[in-house]
Every structure is written in C-alpha cells, then in structure tokens.
Amino acid sequence: DGGITQSPKYLFRKEGQNVTLSCEQNLNHDAMYWYRQDPGQGLRLIYYSQIVNDFQKGDIAEGYSVSREKKESFPLTVTSAQKNPTAFYLCASSMRGGWNQPQHFGDGTRLSIL
C-alpha cells in the first residue's frame, strides 16, 4: 500500500542534542512538508519542498533543518537551537507542488525532552 512512513513514533531529546525525524513516501509525490502540532493550535508549517534538492522555510523554521536529496525522503533535524521542541511532528506529501493540492499525512512523531 502506498503511503507516508514516519519514524520513530516516539523520540526523546536530551539538552544540546540534535535529533532527526524520518519521513519516507512511496506515493511518487513531488512535494513534501513538515508541520508541527501543539495542543490548542492549528498545524504550523516548518519547511516544505516542491522538488528534489529544493526546499523553503515555513512560518516556524528557526531551530530546524531539512534535506531533500531523494524524491521519497524528507528528513527533519531538530537542532539544539530549537528551545521548545516538545510537540507532535507531522510529515505530509502532495502529488504536485501548490497549496491547492490535497496533502496526505503520515502518522507523526512525538518528540519529548528528557
């Protein structure tokens, strides 16, 4: 079955540590996205990529980094510069770039601070 796989499901970060969240899709979608979900808030965009080897910052990119070396993969690194990283992180993809395309989501990674 085609879909988006996020791993791990749960992740714990120590102070000063960088951690990387994995996102893989086998839908052959061009565009991929990373969102952060916090209680009582709408999803907020961290980074997006509409094509391989290109990505753009979203509203809350500070303290995060991404790469898009392969069409199927869009890993997110939460750096030590992100002072409040505890959240539910969601990866999504869409067939083409453009915000009027429906996005399809993975099942998320919950990141907590030790």
Beta strands in the chain (DSSP E): 4-7, 10-13, 19-25, 31-37, 44-51, 54-57, 64-66, 76-78, 87-94, 104-105, 109-113
Helix, strand, or coil (residue 21): strand
Q: Which two tokens stand for residue 16?
A: 């000063």
x/- map, 61-90, another protein, by CB under 8 A: -----------------------------x
Q: Alpha-carbon distance 106 to 109, whole Å?
A: 9
Look up residue 28 and give its amino acid: N
Which residue among 11, 45, 61, 95 contacts another protein (CB under 8 A)?
A: 45
Contact call for residue 16 and another protein (CB under 8 A): no
Interacting span for another protein (CB under 8 A) from 13-21, 65-73, 77-85, 96-104: 96-104
**In this structure, are residues 103 and 32 in contact, taking their beta carbons and an 8 Å threshold?**
no
Which residue among 14, 15, 102, 114 contacts another protein (CB under 8 A)?
A: 102
Contact call for residue 106 and another protein (CB under 8 A): yes
Contact call for residue 60 and another protein (CB under 8 A): no
List residues binding another protein (CB under 8 A): 4, 6, 40-45, 56, 58-59, 90, 92, 99-100, 102-108, 110
